[in-house]
Amino acid sequence: VPGATVSPPPAAGTPRERARATFTADLLAAARRQVAEVGAAQLSLRGVARELGVASSAVYRYVDSRDALLTLLLIEAFDEVGTACETAFAQTSGAGASAGETWVAVARAFRAWALEHRHSYELAYGTPVPGYVAPADTTSHATRVWGVLGRLVIAAGLDGDLAPLSPPADVRGLVTPGVLAFAGGLGDGGPGEAGLDVEEGVVRSVVLFDALVGAVSTELFGHLHGVTTDADRLFGVTIAAVATGVGLTSRPPG
């Protein structure tokens, strides 16, 4: 009956596999909750096991080590924020918004995710967790936000919404070949086809990325505590100002 295995039933696999899958899901959920509560640096396998009502050694049937669990959560975090930014980009630019408006929407999505998942943000963009180094296979997930920023710049160029860098800067040789290749593969046919300087585009993306991390980190880590009466609005103004800096013009409608 080889055909039977082709179309998987609602819950696929042998009973054992299903049990394993659900327990793994529970384990990840518990780990997520733990990170949300105490932060990634304080994530402990024993704590997770405790929450699941299971011996601490049992966790090792499902996960190689604490660091492996951290990696799973890190990938999840990058995917969440990546999806949030991609969605915001698609919806806003799809609705015919200017590059500046799209940028603000993406930035707001980034911030909203960070505020909702404070400790995931810390794990992804904060101080590295002591003793933990993210393995190489996390980068493809981390890159998704970069992809959005890159396409944002490209779209702005295509729409004529891109002012020259001001002050003018020589960016030749600033960007790594690997990243140049990555940027070249973005958008419809890439930035080159749009007559854009790829290197300069990457630099603009870096400024945008720095702005995201800067604005969210200062707010989340308490450096704006007592400074503003309306963090939301201040974020918007801040983000818009940076847009001007990178040359993302927000043309008046019409």
Partner DNA sequence: TGTACATCAGTGAACGCGCGTTCACTGATGTAC
223 belongs to the binding site for DNA (CB under 7 A): no
14 belongs to the binding site for DNA (CB under 7 A): yes
237 belongs to the binding site for a second copy (CB under 8 A): yes
172 binds, among DNA, a second copy, none (CB under 5 to 8 A by kind): none
**Nearest CB to a second copy, comparing residues 8 and 137:** 137
Peptide bond into 130 cis (omega under 30): no
What whole-number distance in Å separates Cα of residue 38 and Cα of residue 48? 12
Stretch of residues binding a second copy (CB under 8 A), selected from 3-11, 27-35, 67-75, 127-135: 127-135
233 binds, among DNA, a second copy, none (CB under 5 to 8 A by kind): a second copy
Q: What are phi and psi of 124, to 5 degrees?
A: -85, -40
What whole-number distance in Å separates Cα of residue 168 and Cα of residue 148? 24
**Total number of residues that touch DNA (CB under 7 A):** 22
Place of tokens 């969440």: 80
236's tokens:
């918007």
HSE-up (13 A, CA, CB side) for residue 101:
14
125 binds, among DNA, a second copy, none (CB under 5 to 8 A by kind): a second copy
Instruction: Select the residue interacting with DNA from 55, 133, 181, 241 (CB under 7 A).
Output: 55
**Nearest CB to a second copy, comparing residues 15 and 130:** 130
DSSP states along 57-72: GGGGGT-S-HHHHHHH
What whole-number distance in Å separates Cα of residue 49 and Cα of residue 56? 5
Tell me how far CA of residue 177 lies from CA of 5, 23, 149, 184, 249, in angstroms: 45, 43, 18, 10, 28
241 binds, among DNA, a second copy, none (CB under 5 to 8 A by kind): a second copy
Q: What are phi and psi of 110, to 5 degrees?
A: -60, -50
Work out how close the CB of 134 gets to a second copy at its nearest, in angstroms, rounded to a whole number.
8
Instruction: Select the residue interacting with DNA from 11, 19, 90, 163 (CB under 7 A).
Output: 19
Work out how close the CB of 164 gets to a second copy at its nearest, in angstroms, rounded to a whole number.
11
Work out how close the CB of 69 gets to DNA at its nearest, in angstroms, rounded to a whole number.
8
DSSP 191: H
Instruction: Select the residue interacting with DNA from 5, 11, 37, 46 (CB under 7 A).
Output: 46
Do the beta carbons of residue 75 and residue 141 sit within 8 Å? yes
What whole-number distance in Å separates Cα of residue 40 and Cα of residue 48? 12
Q: Which residues bind DNA (CB under 7 A)?
A: 14-16, 19-20, 23, 43-47, 54-58, 60-62, 65-67
Q: Which residues bind a second copy (CB under 8 A)?
A: 38-39, 41-42, 100, 122, 125-128, 130, 142, 165-167, 169, 171, 173-176, 178-179, 202-204, 206-207, 209-215, 217-218, 221-224, 226-230, 233-234, 236-238, 240-246, 250
